[in-house]
Structure 1
Amino acid sequence: MESKEKLDAEPRKTRIGAQLRAEGEVVLQLLFFSILGNYSRLGLVRLTDYRGSYVQGPTVLWANLAACFLMGAAQALKPRDVFTPLFFTAVTTGYCGSVSSFSSFLVEVFEHATNTAADSGSHSFPNRAYGIMEFLSVLFVQLMVSMCSHLFGLCLAREFSGSLETSGSWEASKNARRVRKVLKLAENIARILAVPVLIVQIVLAAVYTNGSRYWTFAAVFSFPGTLLRYVLAKYLNPRVKHFPLGTFAANVFGTVLLAIFTLLSRGKLPDGSRIIKFTTTNDVVVGLGNGFCGCLTTISTFINEGHVLPLKKTLIYYFTSIAVSFCLIVVTLGSYAWTRGI
């Protein structure tokens, strides 16, 4: 009897060890690609914010467009066995999810609808009712651009994936094998550099006190946001068949946090002074908003989930996510903005 129990215990330990190793691999990939995705988002926001821009910035619109395009392409290439399951998670959940941001998108909707954006002091609406038009403008432009970008990524990847046709699980054409080798190399590089890159970000954030902290603090906080989103999706999404509960929870929670961080960084006291008076404290709060909240919430996964759901379920999911999140922004950031000012 004892020998039988020992034999049963050995496979159990082996399974647990294998699961821990697999989760460790996922964590390393998410760590690297969350930092890379966060830098990509902030870089696109800065790059597309210039005087005379057709799409007036700063806005997360271009970052959401890029992330949704890549998400669509990855989904189209998945059946071709180009990605390993690990690297597919790294690209979609890690990189695309961190480049796009649901919370930043909804805070933009609120700021434009209420004319409280940081650069809105030079203009005002003819009357307050035009806030409704601005609300609809930002909402539909962001959503439609993200949806069209996702569909374009799907179609483009399907069009050019003919040379990657597979005859078996890992039997493929010469071109497909080349692509796999490149992606496998990228996976190995991410595994090796993940921890060193994080250490570098922490050191840079601690040592340099100039404007670089806008980037480094956000990079430091990006991984916890991505990891929390991954865990929520893994354990909550399967619970409701046609409603991705994990993504919903991540988007709503991250949006509320970003509203609070925006309030703290821009809010005013009754005497007109700022709530946060120290530069370092403000840098940390802004970093939490850009890094943690930006990576905790995602548009690319949000759009992709809606694409695979039945239309009626998609509309329910989209409406519920946006309505709940926006109402919570109004309660938190809006109530303070209208009584004290931001």
Structure 2
Amino acid sequence: MPASVFGVLARLGLQALGTYDGKSIFILAYPQAVGCLIMGIALPLKDTFSNYAPFYTAITTGFCGSLTTFSGWQLDIFFSWINEGQYHRSGLRDVVDGVGKVSFTLSISMASLFLGVHIGTTLLPVIPKMRPPSSAMLYTASVISVLVYVATFPAYFCLSPSFRHQATAALLFSFPGTLMRYVLSTLLNPRLKLLPIGTLAANELGTSLLAMFHALQGLRHPVSPSACSILQGLDDGYCGCLTTVSTFASELRALGSRRGLLYGTISIVVGQILMVLILGSAVWTGRVSSQISCTPIL
């Protein structure tokens, strides 16, 4: 719960930090790189946390999985294909922009993961193995974890309504998205040795939902400001946490060349097909705008 909340906050913070005039890189590159770096550091240290496995799960599945987002990456690529920013460029350059976002995100994610693994392996001899926590510590940690997530509800209702579109709505949906991804991975990944089908299902489901929520935000007759903020919260919180690039990158590393290439190709191609079928069909029929038309509460 707290790892999901702080993962979303870190992603939104990095995106805000990377949004400025004249930026030379797309903003999602920063969360993907940082999340994969932390994931890489954690992988060699797994045995260090073996006496309290939930802590390792919180770092990898919770924080890193929520900090990175596969669905947001797929939406970003799709926007390049259709020139959502209405830039003065030819169709071929739209393709180049989309291919650039695919290749650069893969490159920086894998490079960050391998760098993290190197750092974690270097730290392994100097980090002592975690001692088994007492029952009192376990109960205390559980209570604090639940309270952190429960606090997102009064934060949504009590803080300024302008914060809902920016962050507090996303915090409400952070843990449900992470929990769904964890359940899908736990139930489905062991069923097929060829590919981690659970992570694949979570990433494609989140991509489908993000396409649908974004289409609702672009309706020609805009939804209410409150509904607009909730949809943005579902975009950033639920879909962002349901999908992950850090786990995707670590699985590519574990699968090897052939299976990794197959897994990566299927994931990206299916993600783009879903974007075209759900969001593209709505945009090209004139029913919605590719840009958000609703206005949040200010």
TM-based fold match above 0.5 = yes
Match of 2:3 in 1: 33
Match of 1:230 in 2: 182
Deviations 1:213-248 (A, max 9, x none): 121110000111000000000010000012001100
CA contact (8 A) 1:32 1:194 kept: yes
Over the aligned positions, Cα root-mean-square deviation in angstroms equals 2.2
- Unmatched segments (≥5 aa) in structure 1: 1-30, 165-175
The residue identity in structure 2 corresponding to 1:213 is R
* Match among 266, 276, 293 for residue 330 of structure 1: 276
* Residues 1:225 and 1:146: Cα distance change in structure 2 (over 3 Å): same
* Match among 93, 96, 100 for residue 130 of structure 1: 93
Match of 2:15 in 1: 45
Structure 1 residue 131: deviation in Å?
A: 1.5
CA contact (8 A) 1:32 1:190 kept: no
Q: How far apart, in 1, do the equivalents of 2:162 and 2:140 lie? A: 29
Deviations 1:141-174 (A, max 9, x none): 111100100000001121232324xxxxxxxxxx
The residue identity in structure 1 corresponding to 2:144 is L
Q: How far apart, in 1, do the equivalents of 2:142 and 2:13 lie? A: 23
> What are the equivalent positions in structure 2 for 1:65-104 lying under 5 Å apart?
65-81=33-49, 84-104=52-72
> What are the equivalent positions in structure 2 for 1:143-154 lying under 5 Å apart?
143-154=106-117
* Residues 1:157 and 1:221: Cα distance change in structure 2 (over 3 Å): same
Calculate percent identity across the aligned residue pairs. Answer: 33
Question: 3-state SS of the aligned residue for 2:162?
Answer: coil
Find out whether 1:251 has 2:219 as its counterpart.
no
CA contact (8 A) 2:10 2:67 kept: yes
- Unmatched segments (≥5 aa) in structure 2: 291-298
Match of 2:80 in 1: 112
Structure 1 residue 298: deviation in Å?
A: 0.3
Structure 1 residue 128: deviation in Å?
A: 1.4
Find out whether 1:196 has 2:143 as its counterpart.
no
Question: How many correspondences in the alignment?
Answer: 286
Find out whether 1:289 has 2:235 as its counterpart.
yes
CA contact (8 A) 1:33 1:190 kept: no
CA contact (8 A) 1:115 1:124 kept: no
The residue identity in structure 1 corresponding to 2:72 is S
CA contact (8 A) 2:109 2:249 kept: yes
Deviations 1:177-233 (A, max 9, x none): 6xx37x999987753322222222111212345321121110000111000000000
Match of 1:11 in 2: none
Q: How far apart, in 2, do the equivalents of 1:187 and 1:52 lie? A: 48
* Residues 1:315 and 1:83: Cα distance change in structure 2 (over 3 Å): farther
Find out whether 1:275 has 2:222 as its counterpart.
yes
Q: How far apart, in 2, do the equivalents of 1:110 and 1:207 lie? A: 36
* Residues 1:129 and 1:213: Cα distance change in structure 2 (over 3 Å): same
The TM-score with structure 1 as length reference comes to 0.78
